[in-house]
Amino acid sequence: MNNTGFCSEAAAVNSINKASEDMINSHLSVNVKGTFFGCKHTLRQMKKQEPLWHGDCGWTVNISSTIALVGMAGLSIYAATKGAVASLTKSVTINAAPYRVHCNAVCPGCVS
d(CA 69, CA 78) in angstroms, rounded, equals: 11
Q: How many CA atoms lie within 13 A of 92 on its CB side?
A: 28
Q: What sections of 28-98 are H helices per DSSP?
A: 34-48, 66-70, 76-96
Q: Which entry of 15, 64, 76, 78 is annotated as an active-site residue?
A: 78
d(CA 37, CA 28) in angstroms, rounded, equals: 12
* Residue 78 among the catalytic residues: yes
Catalytic residues: 78
